[in-house]
Structure formats: structure tokens, C-alpha cells
Amino acid sequence: MRNKLFKAFYFLLVINFIFILEISAQTVKLKIIETTDEHGAAFPYDFTDQKPSNSSLAQVTTYVKQERAKKDEQVILLSGGDLLQGTPLVYYYNFEKTKVPHVWAEIMNYMHYDAAAVGNHDIETGHPVYDRVNKQFKFPWLAANAVYKKSGKQYFKPYTIIKRDGIKIAVLGLITPAIPNWLPPKIWEGMEFLDMIETAKKWVKIIKEKEKPDLMIGLFHAGVEATYGGQNADTPRNENASQLVAERVPGFDIVFVGHDHHGWNYSVTNSEGKKILILGGINAARDMAVANCVLTFNSEKKVWEKEISGEVVETKNFQPDKEFMTKFNYAFDEVNRYVKQPIGNFTESISSSESLFGPSSFTDLIQTVQLDLTKADVSFTAPLSFDAKINKGEITVGNMFNLYRYENLLYTMTMSGAEIKNYLEHSYKLWFNQMKDENDHLINFQLDENGNVKLNERNKTPLLKVPYYNFDCAAGINYTVDLSKPAGEKINISSMSNGAQFDLNKKYKVAVNSYRGNGGGGHLVEGAKIPKDELAKRIITSTSKDLRFYMMKWIEKRKIVEPKVLGDWKIIPSDWWNKAKEKDEKLMFPKR
């Protein structure tokens, strides 16, 4: 009798336990964390300037571990791409130490990322690097619109399925399709980058029919401002089509974005009237975009009902994870030794911020190297750092990442004198305001309806109309920039720098980086009016390695370098320029 009662009691207990489990399973909490545009920021340390920083994946790890330790929620960790460029750490493992597992793959595997999107700066590293890293990642690296040119099949995985507590989550990855505008064809050889909207339509349909997910996530390495760079919502292969996809392609619940380094947390309404959350972080692991999802199962409709909210969590509020720092200390020490290697000496200090307002020894040093390496007639360059300074004295490998930020190749191209002039007209149209008198602004700022300079909401700095890395100046020719003249009429080229005649009809050899040489910034296509499909034909030579590598060798060979302003160009009226420069410097760098 006792045995029967015990069995009956045990049966009821099991049934009750199953019932409780079923009831509790009706609600599932998901926390989806995205980092994006990490650009090699693994450690809370700036290897270039040799000082601590307050953003890193080491700190992200602390937050992620904290959230994973909670019993009432499931965590999904994603990355929006641009992983492999931006610090000496990734450069070293990209190009110097290539026979061992890439430290960035080791780090992301250790952190248990569930998926990542491929970024344009990942592609910039070249096939040997991103193909190697892709094999080492223990999670899917996604880009549905990066396809083999011949077959149309996906080069990377298009999507992945993640399961948590009975919830099936689909993550579709897309990359900005504007890569051919910036990077040499050999870097993405064999690939084509398709329109984001058309690709999303195709794959959302496939995913819905094949996988029947409960939650659909877009993980896009692209910004949200479809009008950036003179594009519009109907521009094919729009660089920043993330919001357009969210609005025009039904099926998504959340769209995580990257590429533009802005940081986003807002909702849009799609074509079916559904609210879609758009989230994105800034860059360099400075913050995390977090979607908090509560899914409740409606047993009558047999669907999961969703409550989704977003937040942006700042990394500086977390200490670096000790286990992370210990595990990857080997890489920290090795890269620190690498960047401290001396390569020469500068007799003067140089600053990129000076390059924003006129001629400077910073950009002219780059021009000098480019002209010497290529033996070109004319050189173009822009400051690639906003506020980098290299002090006089011993120069190390680390300093070179301040002098030249990106892994661009160096091209020698053919251009006519007229094309050179129009190139410069385009650059200074982007760069300088048309001044009416000495009280106007020098720089082309974004203005509100009252004519006041717009400020970045996050750090209250003035907003430029275009990024400063499009502020190209020239060397090898003598010219003036007239601030009083309208766009298209500012430039007067008087001669070559050696005194020879400058001829609008003559063909010249021009040194330019590969970003610009492939159409980046529009200087060649919109300014010089060279058809996009003709640019490749204009390339005479290209370096096989990045320009920074050759600049290091150039400095090593000379041992002592005297940076100076070449004096090739001047800004007139000079009194207007001096007064406006002083005012705008205070506006852009108020703490000086």
C-alpha cells in the first residue's frame, strides 16, 4: 500500500514539476549585446601613444560575464565588424606574425561571440588576412551580400541560427557594398558586393521558409544615413542602407548597425506598420548596443509575443576582466615591444590638427615621402588623424600609426593638369567655407536653420560637413586657395614647385593613396570627372604593401628627418584666413 501511495505521490510530483516548467517557459528573457567597429581595441591601452585608455574588449568581457551569470536571462554576443584594422595589435598579427593563430580570433573565441558581420576594414587587410581569420573564428562571420563574382554564391556565411531556451533566433549579416569605391580590386579579388536591400529581401524569404525563426535580427556593417556622400534612398548599392532595409524589408525585429561610428538607439516603422528597433555602438569598444527582449508565448495563437527595448552601455564603467588580461598578456607584451622599436629621429614636432586649417609639416611630410617613393610630379594627401601629435626626438613604430592611420596602398596615376585643378576644387569645396569677410568660419561646418554650427550630441564638438580625411592638399605645384571665391573657382595654380610651367592640357604622374585612387571621397570621379570605370586604367604603379610600411623604411634609411612646411600652397586673403583659423581652432579644440 505504501509503495502504491509513494508511486502516486511521485507521479503527481513529476506532473506538477513538468507543469511548472511549461508555465515558466512561457516567458524567455534575452539580452543581445553588440560591439561594433572594434578596430583592434582589445586592451585598455593605447599602444600608439603609450598610455592607458578606458575602452576595450577586456572591459566588455566584464560586462558580458556579469550578464551571463544572471539566471533569468540568456545572453547573445554579436559584433558589427571592422575588427582587424586600427591598432598596432591587429596590424602586428595581420602582417608581421602570421604563422600563429591570430590574436583577434583567439580573443573573440574566448569571449564566445555568437556571430559577427564582416566590415570593410576587415576586407581592407587583404585575402591572406581575412581568409585566415575566418577559418580561425569559432563562430560564423556573416556577409550575405559578399558573393563570388563568377558563381554568385556567398563568400562568407549569409546567416546563422542561434537557439536559447526554445527560442530560435536568426541573424542575417550584411556588409556595406561601397567597398569597390575605396579598395583596390586585388584586395577583394573574386568577390562582388550586392545591394543590401535586394539581398535582404532574398534572404529573409529563405530564412522564414526554411528556418521559421521566432526572432529575426539584422547584423549590418553599414550606417543608417542613406543620404551620406550625396546618395539618396534609391541609390543602388547605397553605402549606408541599414535603416532602408529595416523600413523596406519586413521580417526583422531588431537591426544592429555599425560602420558610421555614431551610436544609435531608436525605432522605425517598416512597410507593414511594425516597429523595428535600430541599435548601434560607436567604435573602439567604447560602448555596447544592447537589446533587452522579453518573449511571451501566446498558446492560443501559437506565437511568441515580443517586448523589445534598447540601451547603450558605456564600457568605461567596467574594469578590465582579470582573466582576459592574464590570458592575453603574451600578445600585450609582444606588441608593446614591437611598437617601441626606434626607427629614426624628428628634429621638430608635428601635429595633424594643424592640417585641418591650412599648410602643415604633418601633411607635407607625407607628401615628401609619397613624391620620393613614386617620383611623381604631384602628390595628394589628407590628414588621416584628427588630433595626433608626434613629438620631436626618437620616432618609434608606434608613432607611425599616428602619422598614417590606415593601411592604404600608394598609387601612381596619370592625370591632366585640368583634372588636377578640378580635383583640388572638389577638395576645398568640401573643406573650406566661402567667406564673405574675416568674421566668417574658415571650415565648412554643418549649420542649423539659424546659421549656428551644429554640435555632436555626444561630445559637443562641431560637426563637419564631410570627414576631415577628405581634406586633400597637393604638393609638387604652387597654388593659392581664395576663400572669397565660390566652389569651383577657389584654386589658382601658378606653376610646378620647381618653377616649370603648369599646363592644364599636359599629363602628369600623380601620387595618391588607394582609397582616393579607387574613388573614395569623390575627388577623382566627382571632382576631376574621371569615369569610375576608367580609374583602374589610370594606375601606373601600386605598392604591394601598405604605405605606412614604406614610410617606416623611408625614415629608417634617413635616420634623421626634418619635418617642414613645403610652402607649395597659400590661402588668401591671408588676414581673413588668420582670423578665421584662430576662431575655428578654439571652436574645434576648446581645451587648448
Is the pLDDT confidence value at 164 over 80?
yes
pLDDT tens digits along 285-320: 999 999 999 999 998 888 899 999 999 999 999 999
The pTM of the full predicted model, rounded to 2 decimals, is 0.89
Burial (CB count within 10 angstroms: exposed 0-12, middle 13-18, buried 19+), residue 121:
buried
What pLDDT sits at residue 4? 54
Domain with CATH 3.90.780.10 in the chain: 343-588
DSSP 400-439: HHHH--S---EEEEEEEHHHHHHHHHHHHHHHB---SSTT
Is the pLDDT confidence value at 253 over 70?
yes
The residue type at 48? T
Burial (CB count within 10 angstroms: exposed 0-12, middle 13-18, buried 19+), residue 455:
middle
Buried b (16+ CB within 10 A) or exposed e, 210-225: eeebbbbbbbbbbbbb
Q: Under DSSP, is residue 67 helix (H, G, I), strand (E, B) or coil? A: helix
Q: Under DSSP, is residue 83 helix (H, G, I), strand (E, B) or coil? A: coil
Dist CA 7 CA 113 (whole Å): 46
To the nearest whole percent, how much of the chain has pLDDT over 70? 96
Which pLDDT band holds residue 394 (cuts at 50, 70, 90)? very high
pLDDT tens digits along 170-208: 999 999 999 998 999 999 999 999 999 999 999 999 999
Is the pLDDT confidence value at 352 over 50?
yes
> What CATH number labels 25-335?
3.60.21.10
Residues making up the chain, counted from first to last: 592
* Domain made up of 343-588: CATH architecture: Alpha-Beta Complex (3.90)
C-alpha cell at 198: 535586394
